[in-house]
């Protein structure tokens, strides 16, 4: 069992925690329409948001955790306070797609060891929200593949940070046709300006956003890696709560 992938448009390795069975755009689960997605009121200025610092040798990333995904937020806070992530690796990186970490087995992994199986002994129910999408810097939860996880429950610890690319409206139109969906105004604005990974929306729970250090994602994504997309030189992280 190791991290797996979604594919749309091109053949890409992805974010599942299952065996290495790739999906094509023809049999990938479609993005749900708005009637299936939880819609919450925007946060008011009075609502406090938890800020997290992810430190690496390539720089630091400041991340805000969303109150709209309370179960994912609270779990990430709990693990960070316990030091769960400290010393773990960004064990899977794909330039133009995402960087992934949170596997506790990576703390003691030998060079070349395949990772992506580890985590606590629980999952978290999906918390999809039509305003929380995979724009660049989105913090989202990895999960098991649909075949064994039809409810799309999230891994208890493994997460990824979106990189993706900037799309033109024409490219989004083509993607809509291939996927049989329609992107909303929030998605179109984000993906044509900031960029990201639109074909992952409502398939994996987005529960935070990098607000400082987007360049760190690019630096990590470009490192040399092996055939399993593990960086040849370990990229360790530490995660701490800086504002709660």
- List, for residues 86-123, the tens digit of each pLDDT value: 999 999 999 999 999 999 999 999 998 999 889 999 99
| CA angle 31–177–141, rounded 5-degree value | 25
Give the pLDDT of residue 202. 92
Task: Indicate the pTM of the whole model.
Answer: 0.84
Choose between 3 and 219: higher pLDDT: 219
Among 166, 138, 141, 165, CA closest to 154 = 141
What is the enclosing helix (H) or strand (E) of 94? strand 90-94
Fold of the domain spanning 50-105+116-243: Cyclophilin (2.40.100)
Residue 20 has pLDDT above 70, yes or no: no
Distance CA 111, CA 38 (A): 42
**Mean pLDDT score, 37-42:** 48
Distance CA 136, CA 194 (A): 6
What confidence tens digit (pLDDT) does each residue in 174-216 have? 999 999 999 999 999 999 999 999 999 999 999 999 999 999 9
**Mean pLDDT score, 31-56:** 66
Give the pLDDT of residue 116. 86
CB distance 103 to 89 below 8 Å: yes
Q: How far is CA 198 from CA 83, 164, 205, 232, in A?
A: 32, 8, 13, 28
Among 221, 236, 60, 52, CA closest to 136 = 221
Residue 28 has pLDDT above 80, yes or no: no
Distance CA 147, CA 131 (A): 26
Give the pLDDT of residue 16. 54
């Amino acid at each position: 069992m190791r991290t797996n992938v979604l594919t749309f448009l091109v053949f890409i390795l992805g974010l599942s925690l299952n065996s290495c069975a790739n999906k094509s755009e023809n049999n990938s689960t479609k993005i749900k329409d708005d009637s299936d997605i939880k819609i919450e009121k925007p946060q008011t200025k009075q609502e406090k948001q938890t800020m997290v610092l992810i430190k690496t040798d390539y720089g630091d990333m400041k991340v805000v955790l969303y109150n709209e995904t309370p179960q994912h937020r609270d779990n990430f806070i709990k693990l960070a306070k316990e030091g769960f992530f400290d010393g773990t690796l960004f064990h899977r990186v794909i330039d133009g797609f995402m960087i992934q970490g949170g596997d506790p087995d990576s703390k003691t992994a030998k060079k070349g060891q395949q990772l992506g199986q580890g985590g606590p002994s629980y999952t978290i129910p999906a918390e999809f929200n039509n305003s929380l999408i995979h724009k660049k810097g989105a913090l989202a939860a990895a999960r098991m593949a649909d075949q064994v996880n039809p409810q799309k429950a999230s891994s208890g610890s493994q997460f990824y940070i979106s990189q993706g690319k900037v799309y033109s409206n024409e490219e989004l139109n083509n993607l809509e046709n291939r996927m049989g969906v329609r992107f909303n105004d929030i998605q179109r604005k984000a993906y044509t300006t900031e960029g990201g990974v639109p074909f992952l929306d409502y398939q994996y729970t987005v529960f935070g956003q990098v607000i400082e250090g987007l360049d760190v994602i690019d630096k990590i994504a470009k490192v040399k890696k092996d055939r399993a997309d593990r960086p040849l030189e370990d990229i360790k992280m530490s995660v701490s709560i800086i504002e709660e």
